[in-house]
């Protein structure tokens, strides 16, 4: 028997039981989170409360409190960006939800080649947003884009003017919404399809015995039991649509004029166009508060409905 082995094992056991040992194991992760998360957040708070403009280095840095927020909420450009973001988010998520739910219900039926069609539907979702933006930019290119060319022929056949997908202020936002629907309807479909697959069959069997119609089964059985999946899909997709940047930046950069300038595009223009990083930092916190508020309202409304029904 090795006499020196027992004290060594005892020392190791003592180290494992020490109160500082878990913190030592978590230290690398905590340091990384501190550097990549906490420090930038606190520094952004500092920037939002100052008057730093990189294009004017001669200005003396001063503490201005809530001045940047006050300037933003009175800025017509900010109010327009807020309206554009709200319209884009609402209509994109609304169409994506009902289209995704319709596809999920359709795929509950027996369809030949279902695996192939499911793969084809999910393909746009896995493409990077920049690739989606570049692809649609070439498809909608004036005169020579594939979609533009055939749309012009179709509209000309009926004696209508050629569509201006991205160059018209009225049509540009609608085009961006449709592109977002094309890319992210598969996300809704994926979550709702999984939710439908998890529903128990007993209520449907009872409804079939009672002779309930398909619409009544949908509104009284399927939709109420699907609410947890619906909440997850709507919360995630609303937050994602609200902060959409890549596709819009590639396609329109907020134009024509400011017809498609969302809050994230405005944030980029203020921070990297005018180099007003203090106002940009303040705008980033406004966006954060709006996203948190929307998520809280979604969860609160769905939780209240669940309690009322229980």
* Per-residue model confidence as pLDDT tens digits over 165-219: 898 888 999 999 999 999 999 999 999 999 998 888 888 888 888 888 888 888 8
Give the DSSP per-residue string, 121-142. Answer: HHHHHHS-HHHHHHHHHHHT-T
Whole-angstrom Cα distance, residue 263 to residue 248? 11
pLDDT band at 61 (very low <50, low <70, confident <90, very high): confident
Length of the chain counted residue by residue? 310
225-256 tens-digit pLDDT: 898 899 889 989 999 999 899 999 999 999 89
Report the pLDDT value the prediction gives residue 310, as an integer from 0 to 100: 57
Beta bridge partners of 50: 63
Average pLDDT, the chain: 87
What percent of the chain has pLDDT above 90? Answer: 45
- Given CA atoms 236, 241, 242, 244 in this order, what sign does their dihedral have? positive
Task: Answer yes or no: is pLDDT of 1 > 50.
Answer: no
Report the pLDDT value the prediction gives residue 266, as an integer from 0 to 100: 95
Q: Which two tokens stand for residue 190?
A: 């994926």
Give the DSSP per-residue string, 147-207. Answer: HHHHHHHHHHHTT-PPP-TTTSHHHHHHHHHHHHHHHHHHHHHHHHHHHHHTS-SHHHHHH
Instruction: Go through the domains of the chain in sequence order and give each one's CATH number.
Output: 25-309 (1.10.3720.10)
Task: Answer yes or no: is pLDDT of 77 > 50.
Answer: yes
Whether 145 and 139 have beta carbons less than 8 Å apart is answered as yes
Phi, psi of 26 (to 5 degrees): -85, -10
- Predicted model pTM: 0.86
CA 256 to the chain's CA centroid? 23
């Amino acid at each position: 028997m090795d006499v020196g082995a027992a004290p060594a094992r005892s020392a190791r056991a003592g180290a494992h039981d020490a109160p500082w040992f878990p913190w030592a194991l978590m230290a690398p992760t905590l340091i990384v989170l501190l550097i990549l998360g906490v420090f930038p957040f606190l520094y952004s708070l500092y920037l939002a409360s100052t008057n730093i403009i990189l294009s004017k280095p001669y200005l003396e840095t001063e503490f201005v409190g809530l001045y940047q927020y006050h300037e933003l909420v009175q800025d017509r450009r900010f109010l327009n960006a807020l309206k554009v973001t709200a319209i884009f988010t609402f209509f994109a998520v609304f169409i994506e939800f009902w289209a995704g739910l319709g596809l999920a219900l359709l795929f509950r039926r027996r369809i030949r080649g279902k695996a192939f069609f499911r793969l084809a539907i999910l393909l746009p979702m896995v493409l990077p947003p920049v690739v989606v933006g570049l692809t649609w930019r070439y498809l909608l290119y004036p005169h020579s884009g594939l979609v533009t060319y055939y749309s012009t022929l179709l509209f000309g056949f009926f004696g209508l003017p050629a569509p201006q997908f991205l160059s018209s202020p009225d049509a540009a936002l609608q085009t961006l919404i449709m592109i977002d629907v094309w890319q992210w309807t598969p996300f809704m479909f994926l979550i709702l399809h999984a939710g439908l697959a998890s529903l128990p069959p007993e209520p449907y069997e009872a409804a079939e015995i009672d002779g309930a119609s398909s619409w009544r089964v949908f509104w009284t059985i399927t939709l109420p039991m699907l609410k947890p999946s619906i909440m997850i899909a709507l919360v995630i997709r609303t937050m994602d649509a609200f902060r959409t940047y890549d596709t819009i930046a590639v396609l329109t950069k907020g134009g024509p004029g400011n017809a498609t300038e969302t809050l994230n595009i405005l944030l980029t223009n203020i921070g990297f166009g005018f180099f007003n990083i203090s106002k940009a930092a303040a705008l980033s916190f406004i966006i954060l508060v709006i996203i948190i508020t929307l998520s809280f309202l979604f969860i609160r409304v769905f939780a209240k409905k669940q309690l009322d029904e229980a």
